[in-house]
């Protein structure tokens, strides 16, 4: 590693809010893992569209799959902010690994920890911390932004529910063994019939369907789920019957901060790559970052990143402090996804023709950034949330 490279990475690794000693050590350990184990596998995983099993196991071994999970359930007993730091550091190297860890922590673990009964927590949080991947199954083909229009049905048969329907765009769908899945148990009641279930991959009538061939985050699996008379024990209802809409809304508010962390990680990776390249690239007898036009572009990218990072960190700190963070989470996701797309696009331009080919890293950062404005609430949905809250206040 050159002196220039080291200086660049240290500059953008500096926290924008004060970190405790434990947080600093945690962040550094995640970064060491990302650099030492993930980076060398990124290109192959992206090309082949899979997440290497050895990396998934290491994520468990390092405690990254249960960061907030209490120690009594085998987790690390950390904070939400630590989970955000982990997603950022992983996404700086590979956004696919970043979202793999993000979904487990900010969606699946959070939903179960907040809404499960003691028996469910003991059974499922322990498995999710140790060895089993989780997924969050809300979206359907005709139910995206309008999540409450879901068509998956759940019929109460006494000691079990029978679920029928299909889920779409499920992150971690291929690897997951435990699913937080939503179905409507009382369609006549509208969204008040929506119920959350903990569904195991081994349950009768449950099948993982097509794996999508995506533009970006290609190593992250995105699949459909097929439920054909899927039998789910009554004790696997998560929370109360008919209160699943509340579970989904509150969990996604936290998940949006995680996506914000993924986006700032992507943007950091692209900016650091651009700074190294513009230092090394010679034109007209000098490095191209000695030209003012290039300097101004780099300065603009750095400013966008810093603003996005502050917003994501602030929302995460508010969540840990028990404050209302809904507006801040929406703003952080909206702004960070826009910043990531802008920064990665500019990085390609700074690389010139080299930026457009797969031999260099920035085209992948751009491809990975695009999903930020789509999943866990589109940019339009974030704008709607923000508008309602600022008008209400």
For 159, the 3-state DSSP assignment is coil
Residues 177, 108 contacting (CB under 8 angstroms): no
Is residue 310 packed enough to be buried (19+ CB in 10 Å), middle (13-18) or exposed (0-12)?
middle
For 136, the 3-state DSSP assignment is strand
Residue 328 annotated among the catalytic residues of the structure: no
For 322, the 3-state DSSP assignment is coil
Least Cα distance to 166 among 179, 152, 177 occurs for: 152
Q: Which residue's structure tokens are 């007993």? A: 77
Q: Are strands 160-171 and 153-156 parallel, antiparallel or unpaired?
A: antiparallel
User: Residue 94: CB partners within 8 Å, gap ≥ 6?
Assistant: 34, 38, 39, 41, 42, 45, 46, 219
Least Cα distance to 183 among 169, 172, 198 occurs for: 198
User: Residue 370: CB partners within 8 Å, gap ≥ 6?
Assistant: 215, 216, 341
Least Cα distance to 108 among 51, 47, 173 occurs for: 173
Terminal-to-terminal C-alpha distance of the chain: 51
User: Residue 1: CB partners within 8 Å, gap ≥ 6?
Assistant: none
Catalytic-labelled residue, pool 68, 140, 272, 376: 376
DSSP state at residue 151: -
Residue 175, both tokens? 């690897």
Supply the residues annotated as catalytic: 376
């Amino acid at each position: 590693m050159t002196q220039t490279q080291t200086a660049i990475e240290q500059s953008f690794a500096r926290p924008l809010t004060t970190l405790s000693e434990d947080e600093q050590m945690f962040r550094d350990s995640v970064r060491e893992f990302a650099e030492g184990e993930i980076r060398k596998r990124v290109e192959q995983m992206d090309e082949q569209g899979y997440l290497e099993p050895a990396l998934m196991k290491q994520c468990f071994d390092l405690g990254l799959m249960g960061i907030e999970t209490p120690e009594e359930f085998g987790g690390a007993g950390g904070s939400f902010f630590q989970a955000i730091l982990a997603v950022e550091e992983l996404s700086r190297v590979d956004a696919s690994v970043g979202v793999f860890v993000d979904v487990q922590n900010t969606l699946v673990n959070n939903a179960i920890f907040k809404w499960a009964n003691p028996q469910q927590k003991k059974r499922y949080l322990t498995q999710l911390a140790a060895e089993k991947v989780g997924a969050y199954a809300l979206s359907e083909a005709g139910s995206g932004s309008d999540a409450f229009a879901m068509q998956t049905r759940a019929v109460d048969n006494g000691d079990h529910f029978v679920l029928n329907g299909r889920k779409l765009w499920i992150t971690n769908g291929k690897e997951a063994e435990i699913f937080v899945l939503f179905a409507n148990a009382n369609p006549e009641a509208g969204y008040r019939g929506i119920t959350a279930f903990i569904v195991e991959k081994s349950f009768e009538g449950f099948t993982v369907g097509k794996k999508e061939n995506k533009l970006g985050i290609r190593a992250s699996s995105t699949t459909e789920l097929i439920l054909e008379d899927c039998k789910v024990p009554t004790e696997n209802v998560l929370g109360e019957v008919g209160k699943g809409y509340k579970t989904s809304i509150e969990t996604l508010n936290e998940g949006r901060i995680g996506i914000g962390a993924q986006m700032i990680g992507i943007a950091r990776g692209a900016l650091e790559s651009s700074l190294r390249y513009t230092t090394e690239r010679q034109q007209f007898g000098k490095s191209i970052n000695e030209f003012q036009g290039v300097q101004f572009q780099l300065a603009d990218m750095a400013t966008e990143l810093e603003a996005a990072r502050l917003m994501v960190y602030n929302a995460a700190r508010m969540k840990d402090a028990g404050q209302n963070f809904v507006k801040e989470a929406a703003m952080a996701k909206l702004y960070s996804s826009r910043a990531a797309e802008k920064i990665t696009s500019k990085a390609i331009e700074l690389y010139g023709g080299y930026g457009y080919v797969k031999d260099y890293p920035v085209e992948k950062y751009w491809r990975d950034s695009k999903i930020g404005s789509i999943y866990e609430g589109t940019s339009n949905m974030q704008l709607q949330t923000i508008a309602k809250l600022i008008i209400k206040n």
